[in-house]
């Protein structure tokens, strides 16, 4: 089985209430980019500057057709159900998190 890092995040971007694009990303300390025809996603695990959590998955989502960018800080966790964030009046992001083997490891 391939490693998914701290967690795997399944993303569903909705535009105007309709499914616009989907992808999945794995959370690691290194910065990665995942691109589809419709969106670009840059992401990495970083220290939570707000100190609410030890680590968060920092996720930049760029919508290619509009050049809109959204920044999310997703805590390392396991989702019980799909979670949603309204990004603006036109876009909503749904995400579902699955914990990986690094989530229980020392995060130093």
Helix (H) or strand (E) holding 83: strand 83-86
The reply to whether 86 falls in a domain is yes
Q: What is the domain count for the chain? A: 1
The reply to whether 2 falls in a domain is no
β-strand pairing of 32-35 with 18-26: unpaired
Model pTM? 0.89
Domain enclosing residue 65, as ranges: 7-104
Q: Give 69-91 pLDDT, tens digit per residue.
A: 999 999 999 999 999 999 888 99
Closest C-alpha to 87, from 54, 39, 47: 39
What pLDDT score does 105 carry? 58
What pLDDT score does 106 carry? 39
Q: Are 11 and 61 in contact (CB under 8 A)?
A: yes
The reply to whether 80 falls in a domain is yes
Q: Give 8-64 pLDDT, tens digit per residue.
A: 999 999 999 999 999 999 999 999 999 999 999 999 999 999 999 999 999 999 999
């Amino acid at each position: 089985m391939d490693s998914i890092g701290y967690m795997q995040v399944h993303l569903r971007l909705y535009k105007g209430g309709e499914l616009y694009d989907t992808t999945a990303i794995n959370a690691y300390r290194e910065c990665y980019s995942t691109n589809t025809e419709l969106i670009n996603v840059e992401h990495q695990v970083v220290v939570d500057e707000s100190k609410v959590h030890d680590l968060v998955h920092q996720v930049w989502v760029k919508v290619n057709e509009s050049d809109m960018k959204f920044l999310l800080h997703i805590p390392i966790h396991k989702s019980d159900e799909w979670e949603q964030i309204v990004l603006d009046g036109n876009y909503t992001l749904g995400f579902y998190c699955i914990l990986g083997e690094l989530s229980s490891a020392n995060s130093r």
